[in-house]
Amino acid sequence: MKILVINPGSTSTKTAVFGGGEPIFIESIHHPSDVLSQFNSLKEQKDFRKEKIVEVLKKHNISLDQLKVVIGRGGILKPIEAGTYRVNNRLMNDLIQSKVEHASNLGGIIAYEIAAGLGIPAYIADPVSVDEFEEVARVSGLKEINRISLLHTLNIRANAFRYAEENSKKFEDLNIIVAHLGGGISIAPLKNGKIVDVNNANEGGPFSPERAGSLPSVDVMKMSYSGKYEKNELVRLFTKKGGLVSYLGVNNMSEVIEKIRIGDKYAKLIVDAMCYQIAKEIGAMATVLNGNVEAIIFTGGLSHNKELIDEIGKRVNWIAPIVVYPGEGEMSALAMAAFRVLKGEEKEREYI
């Protein structure tokens, strides 16, 4: 039972084949910028990237007719429940016509085109737009603005499934908090397996290596009308040049930790502040679960850093036991989502 996994990025396409739950190979296909510049849009790169994927399969002696299913990274879609979705015409159209041009949109499109030629299913799983909010979580404090669900769904759910399996629990019985710590930060409470709230990973919550997180609204308004910034400059400032980049000029946590080790007190203050904000957000999400928290799971690239986890942990370890699953593992997460459907552990969903 072989599963082809496709995860397009801006300058690469991660490709893998899994068999029996284990990777047969995982390879990142690099696309030179001078080649990609020949295309007018990401959508025009579809056939080029598909050809490169087929070439990699041949290199690893895997024929297309050996594949049981193809799964791609979920793109920018309308709000949907978590799960594994079979790519149908409606989903394809939404990916093709998406107002947001993002490389992940190609995941489902390429998966569908490869699978259609083989007569096998194509899936996407747990895109960033998954929305399982309780209605009370949508209220912002201003009638004209709703809180929205935007998060690192794939990694959060993959590690929640891992925790359930390792602890002999049913996923739908889980009451846990998962903190994805990477370039962006998502802190999500799962109530009976549903992601019922989350800080918006782009616009709110703790600041991160690149993102500014929640900011005082009046000061943001003053910046917006100062005449110093265009709209796209502010978006970039808040989402790409905020957080550690704003304060320390770098987004690499290892570099920041090295600064602290050689005595940089300012760097330590900023990292302590980031940990403080992460811990505060975890504490807030514990109230969403009425304090009934089985575990706090840390995942994402920053979770490799023991000093960081220890600093956050000392503020939240009274809430629940801490579990650390470092890294992202998107390829494995996608493969496992497909395997759960194939094994009947989870039903495939229809995109409507």
Same-domain check for residues 219 and 315: yes
Same-domain check for residues 86 and 49: yes
Task: Please give the pLDDT value at position 165.
Answer: 96
For residues 12 and 20, give the distance between their C-alpha atoms in angstroms, rounded to a whole number. Answer: 26
Same-domain check for residues 57 and 93: yes
Q: What are phi and psi of 276, to 5 degrees?
A: -60, -45
Task: Please give the pLDDT value at position 100.
Answer: 84
In a domain, 338, yes or no: yes
Report the CATH number that the domain containing residue 13 is assigned in CATH. Answer: 3.30.420.40
- Within 10 angstroms of residue 129's Cβ, the number of other Cβ atoms is 17
Strands 84-86 and 12-19: unpaired
Please identify every stretch of the chain with a pLDDT value under 70, giving residue numbers as ranges: none
In a domain, 206, yes or no: yes
Check if the beta carbon of residue 329 is closer than 8 Å to that of residue 155. Answer: yes
CA–CA–CA angle 256, 260, 265 (5° rounding): 115
Strands 12-19 and 2-8: antiparallel
Question: Per-residue pLDDT tens for 39-85?
Answer: 999 999 999 999 999 999 999 999 999 999 999 999 999 999 999 99
Same-domain check for residues 94 and 212: no
Task: Please give the pLDDT value at position 320.
Answer: 99
In a domain, 163, yes or no: yes
Q: Could you list the residue range(s) of the whole structural domain that residue 23 is in?
A: 2-129+331-350
Same-domain check for residues 81 and 205: no
CB-neighbour burial class of residue 29 (10 A; exposed 0-12, middle 13-18, buried 19+): middle
**Cβ-based neighbours of 19, under 8 Å, separated by 6 or more:** 1, 2, 3
Check if the beta carbon of residue 49 is closer than 8 Å to that of residue 39. Answer: no
pTM: 0.93
Question: Per-residue pLDDT tens for 262-313?
Answer: 999 999 999 999 999 999 999 999 999 999 999 999 999 999 999 999 999 9
Task: Please give the pLDDT value at position 20.
Answer: 79
Same-domain check for residues 122 and 255: no
**Domains in the chain, number:** 2
In a domain, 12, yes or no: yes
Q: Which of 3, 90, 102, 121 is nearest to 45 (CA)?
A: 102
